[in-house]
Structure 1
Amino acid sequence: MSVNVQIPYSQVHALGDILLAARSGQLHTYSLTDGKLISTWKHPDVEKVAEAVNRVAEEKEVALATGAGEDAPMADDDKDEPPAKRQKMLSEQESSVSITTDMPPADVVDRESSSNGQKGKGKDKASRSRVRVEGRAKVPDRPLITHLTSTADKKHVIAVTGHDKAVWVFEHDGQGNLEELSSRIMPKRPSSIVVGPDSMIICADKFGDVYSLPLTPDPNWKAPVVAKTVTETPIEANEFTVHSRRNRRALESQQLQAKKKPNNEQDKATDAPAFELTLLLGHVSLLTALLVAEREGRKYIITADRDEHIRISRYIPQAHIIEGYCLGHKDFIGDLVIPEQRNDILISGGGENELFVWDWLAGNLASTASVLNLAQQIDSTITKVAVSGLHSLVYPSESGKLTYVLAICEGIKAIFSWLLTDDNRLNHPGVIQLPGNPLDLEIIPVEGGPPKIVAAMDPGAATPANSINIFTLNMNEERLSVDNITTVEENTVQTSDIEATEDVVRGLLYNVEYLRKKGGGGEDGEGGDAPATEVEASEEAQS
């Protein structure tokens, strides 16, 4: 029987002395001076999920009390499903059993849930369970804040919730209080988001497209008028003019489509966004990382995808112009970072064992650095890594300001660090061990002293550690280490929404390793899974 655990904080972002921390569908602000909670915003679906989870818990108690048995475990075939789809199935499985107390208990529960496609094996209806699988108390998709960022002036906060594909904009008063300004539903689920220098929101999605939308929606904006097209194609053939069985089947199919077409225009109008949204560029694969950069007086959009590509495109309004590529990865790209003080250098990492250092405008690979070697210092049995986050910081030293690159990997309890040298190499590798799996990092500059690192972690069910830890850094022989650890008061609003089984938590928060193609991919694509178009179609179906 699965035990519920607290869903940990998974996103952190700093606004001066204010820390934004996202947990499930809740966004909290904390003071970095004393660690106290300032305010809380909850997604409208939080209470819906809490009510559904409570109802499911009551039904499970009734099931156990009447001897109806426990939920069946997830089928082995479902374990390979994408995390978003797997989490949705788990939510449905939590609530799909409806107890009928007027029937005697049965020995076997026959599940015929459409969420996992498993059919009942017993052909005799009399042998099936008396526990009806009706799915009447479905748990809605759990709201989860997947991305957090802010404008340069720190007056606006942008958050993304993955389950409903929404981009939320809040006004920040400078004291930790947030006021919700707008919510816009994107065509596909966002996978990365940044704010451009002109305060335009740049959003990449899991279908491979990059859009721009204004920070504040224009209330006077109107969708462009599109000329109506002919919805019915004249059918010249008829049942008296066809002379073969094949032609007759084609005619019947054409007639059937003609009957359906009058509703197509209405469907397209319903799907069109009701706010200003501009398509900038597109990949043919799931986008995983997005940056806006400037070099030699010109701005660029840098995008990376699951199919090992890093593309350099010009910024608005010339985003359709591709300036170049950084090619060399043989597996998915998990994240990108342009280090502090070095806008000519790009660091990338993902499913391979190394980080790549690029002269990104020229598209040249400068050097690589092993992540696997550092990971094996913690656990010698590790054979592969999945880089989930890249960050950089500036450390003041007697010889001047030094630039460091930080990396976190999915499921590895550590922060890895390197010193970026003048000749574009990553030297002096270091390991900062953590009490939990890191989910996100935020760098807090400290005037006149070394910066701090805020880490959102998953401590796991067996570890009583806090989900948010703040580390003060030290340097020894040009390697970073931890000098002091503090925490914030995690006394957030207690609702059932922040509790879930460990399987659900993993489905929600651990989705980087899934990007790895089965068989390891390869330069010639051997051993990979479905083509990019099939992958994107699968993602679209999940959206």
Structure 2
Amino acid sequence: MTSRRHPVQTLTYAPFTPPRLYAAIAETLFSISTTSHEILATWHTPPAPLQGKVAPQSKNPKTQPENEKEDAEEVSPSKAENEAVTAESGDVEMTDSTSQPPIGKRKRSPSNTPTKPAPPSDHVESKKSKRSKKHKPETVAAKLLPNYIGQIVYIPTKHILAVTTLEDKSLRLLDCDSLEVIKEWVLHKRPSAITITDSNSTILVGDKFGDVYAYSIPNTTTTTTTSPSQPELADAKLLLGHVSLLTTLTTVTLPPSQTRSTTAQNANGKAAEKQYIITADRDEHIRITNYPHTHAIHTFCLSHTQFVSRLLITSQNTLLSGGGDDWLGVWDWYSGTLLQQVGLREIIAGIYPDEEERGKLVEKMKGYNTRRRRREGEEEEREVVVAVREILEVEGGIVVVVLEGVPVLLRFEVVETGRVEYRGFTRTPGPVLSLTGADGGRVYFGCDVGDNEKGGLVLYADMGVEEPRVCELFEGERKGLEGVRVEEGEEDAVNERLYSVEGLRKGFGGMGEDE
């Protein structure tokens, strides 16, 4: 099996002069000029904390052999880090020793050990070894996992980026020009969603525990760089919480002319704008919460029967939602009314009318995660599984939808009534993993091109035209944006980080498994 380049997992666009594109590949963030196509700056995430445990010490150290005491000693940070760096990047490995006795038990002397006949060749394992597998492994190899970049948000009024990193569970503010860290927070749990308020003064972070925290954006002209060894935690303000994994969030503001409540007034007695936070979770709920008075829930949007992975407030002030159901929802979010269901399965069937071609796509999608399965008793997958990865609106009221594992960009248009109409699709070189909008209706996106060395890591398409054409940003002159190599043996671990949306489905067997 040949190696492949790691795709771009996160993108964001900054429309200042000159405009820039920020692309994250694994642990590295690139600042790219969209006019000269030069890489202007790079930033690497700091090493993540060691994952895993060391062998426990014996309860009776006097009877423990010297060589086993050495194995049971706690690993010093320097020693563990050196061992972890040499380990393969990927999931934590569980080691089950078969050549040595369990830690903390006395070895039998060879002279006192009864000799037993060797088991027959067709005997797979003894009863004792079967019983031992029921117990937890006694050692977990400490390993330094890649500190992946999770989400990136551009904050225009501050000229900074808000960046989350997953393994060390941190939020950092980076200068847009130099990519130097301005401020850093340690998060309570691993981040799953991030956005900013309409005033660009507060960052909202949702985590996999279901909570949403607010972080005030400091004045960057007076803030000094925070030492990475002394990140802050007390600045966070808990706003609200779900009872399951929070998947996505956005904000919306109603101006005074659209405020439907006569009680919404400011200090001068005039009609005031109202702000809301819209959140969604793995348990199909979409919640509209008042902001900043988040103790008051405004309403719910309830019709999804699978997880909700993406939310978007359109230019017509309607809410678009998508997730594990095979349709997009168009909502009057203020009243919680579902206005329209846009069928996605019918669209996919039109793009792949040939059953054989559709079957090849299904088989390829199964390979993105080795733990992919369905609940016992369900039929084998024969149709494309719908899982919405991205929903984005660009200039001209064009909405672009990306489905996980499906190499197309779906194009919709927001009409005057707030509903959406399907306008067509654009094929891409591989499954789209990242997407961001730019000026003039252009979208930049990152594809998983597999082992295709000619495929570009960053591509773009102008969605405002009738038949958008996919182009490479660098057109063969990548100028250093090669990305890291994913070698054989590491692909499964990388795929599980990249193809994570479908893992939200209950019974999937991957992230968020409900068993």
Distance 1:349 1:494, change over 3 A: closer
Give the distance between the partners of 2:309 and 2:432, measured in 1 at CA. 15
TM-score by length of 2: 0.69
Task: Tell me if the contact between 2:7 and 2:483 (Cα under 8 Å) persists in the aligned partners.
Answer: no
Match of 2:349 in 1: 376
Task: Tell me if the contact between 1:11 and 1:148 (Cα under 8 Å) persists in the aligned partners.
Answer: yes
Q: Which residue of 171, 175, 179 maps to 2:175?
A: 171
Whether 2:505 is the aligned partner of 1:506: answer no
Q: CA deviation at 1:5?
A: 2.8
Match of 1:300 in 2: 276
Match of 2:332 in 1: 359
Deviations 1:295-350 (A, max 9, x none): 1321110001111111000111x0111011111111110100112x32x2000000
Give the counterpart letter for 1:312 in structure 2.
Answer: I
Give the distance between the partners of 2:96 and 2:486, measured in 1 at CA. 18
Give the counterpart letter for 1:422 in structure 2.
Answer: E
| Secondary structure of the corresponding residue to residue 471 of structure 2 | strand
Match of 1:319 in 2: 294
| Secondary structure of the corresponding residue to residue 329 of structure 2 | strand
Paired residues in the alignment total 396
Give the distance between the partners of 1:3 and 1:390, measured in 2 at CA. 33
Q: CA deviation at 1:135?
A: 7.1
Match of 1:387 in 2: 388
Give the counterpart letter for 2:290 in structure 1.
Answer: R
Give the distance between the partners of 1:98 and 1:15, measured in 2 at CA. 55
Distance 1:466 1:348, change over 3 A: same
Match of 2:307 in 1: 332
Task: Tell me if the contact between 2:398 and 2:463 (Cα under 8 Å) persists in the aligned partners.
Answer: no
Deviations 1:120-172 (A, max 9, x none): 945688xxxxxxx9979743121111100021325110011111111111122
Aligned pairs for 1:239-254 (under 5 A) are none
| Secondary structure of the corresponding residue to residue 88 of structure 1 | coil
Q: Which residue of 449, 458, 472 maps to 1:459?
A: 449
Distance 1:498 1:275, change over 3 A: farther
Task: Tell me if the contact between 1:98 and 1:134 (Cα under 8 Å) persists in the aligned partners.
Answer: no
Give the distance between the partners of 1:499 and 1:52, measured in 2 at CA. 21
Aligned pairs for 1:470-481 (under 5 A) are 470-476=460-466, 481=467
Whether 2:197 is the aligned partner of 1:207: answer no
Identical amino acids, percent of aligned pairs? 27
Match of 1:440 in 2: 434
Distance 1:48 1:18, change over 3 A: farther
Task: Tell me if the contact between 1:96 and 1:138 (Cα under 8 Å) persists in the aligned partners.
Answer: no
Stretches of structure 2 that go unaligned for 5 or more consecutive residues are: 52-80, 101-123, 130-136, 224-230, 260-272, 359-382
Distance 1:156 1:183, change over 3 A: same
Task: Tell me if the contact between 2:344 and 2:386 (Cα under 8 Å) persists in the aligned partners.
Answer: yes
Give the distance between the partners of 1:47 and 1:517, measured in 2 at CA. 29
Whether 2:20 is the aligned partner of 1:18: answer yes
| Secondary structure of the corresponding residue to residue 39 of structure 1 | strand
Give the distance between the partners of 2:162 and 2:319, measured in 1 at CA. 24
Give the distance between the partners of 2:138 and 2:336, measured in 1 at CA. 56
Match of 2:112 in 1: none
Aligned pairs for 1:82-231 (under 5 A) are 88-89=91-92, 92=93, 121-122=125-126, 138-153=142-157, 155-172=159-176, 176-196=177-197, 197-216=199-218
Distance 1:98 1:503, change over 3 A: farther
Match of 2:47 in 1: 45
| RMSD, matched Cα | 3.7
Q: Which residue of 58, 76, 86 maps to 1:55?
A: 86
Give the counterpart letter for 1:12 in structure 2.
Answer: L
Task: Tell me if the contact between 1:46 and 1:497 (Cα under 8 Å) persists in the aligned partners.
Answer: no
Task: Tell me if the contact between 1:217 and 1:276 (Cα under 8 Å) persists in the aligned partners.
Answer: no
Q: CA deviation at 1:500?
A: 7.0
Give the distance between the partners of 2:391 and 2:489, measured in 1 at CA. 28
Q: CA deviation at 1:376?
A: 2.2
Task: Tell me if the contact between 1:374 and 1:431 (Cα under 8 Å) persists in the aligned partners.
Answer: no
Give the counterpart letter for 1:179 in structure 2.
Answer: E
Task: Tell me if the contact between 2:50 and 2:145 (Cα under 8 Å) persists in the aligned partners.
Answer: no
Per mean C-alpha deviation after superposition, the further-off stretch among 46-55 and 416-425 is 46-55
Give the distance between the partners of 2:40 and 2:48, measured in 1 at CA. 19
Give the distance between the partners of 2:483 and 2:245, measured in 1 at CA. 35
Give the distance between the partners of 2:208 and 2:181, measured in 1 at CA. 25
Distance 1:363 1:124, change over 3 A: closer
Match of 1:416 in 2: 410
Distance 1:379 1:139, change over 3 A: farther
Q: CA deviation at 1:183?
A: 2.0
Deviations 1:32-62 (A, max 9, x none): 00211111100121899998687347xxxxx
Give the counterpart letter for 1:8 in structure 2.
Answer: P
Deviations 1:94-138 (A, max 9, x none): x999999xxxxxxxxxxxxxxxxxxx945688xxxxxxx997974
Per mean C-alpha deviation after superposition, the further-off stretch among 39-48 and 298-307 is 39-48
Give the distance between the partners of 2:424 and 2:84, measured in 1 at CA. 43
Give the distance between the partners of 1:330 and 1:324, measured in 2 at CA. 18
Give the counterpart letter for 1:361 in structure 2.
Answer: Y
Whether 2:242 is the aligned partner of 1:283: answer yes
Give the distance between the partners of 2:8 and 2:97, measured in 1 at CA. 30
| Secondary structure of the corresponding residue to residue 43 of structure 2 | strand
Give the counterpart letter for 1:454 in structure 2.
Answer: Y
| Secondary structure of the corresponding residue to residue 482 of structure 1 | coil
Task: Tell me if the contact between 2:399 and 2:412 (Cα under 8 Å) persists in the aligned partners.
Answer: yes
Distance 1:515 1:137, change over 3 A: closer
Distance 1:163 1:324, change over 3 A: same
| Secondary structure of the corresponding residue to residue 45 of structure 1 | coil
Task: Tell me if the contact between 2:49 and 2:167 (Cα under 8 Å) persists in the aligned partners.
Answer: no
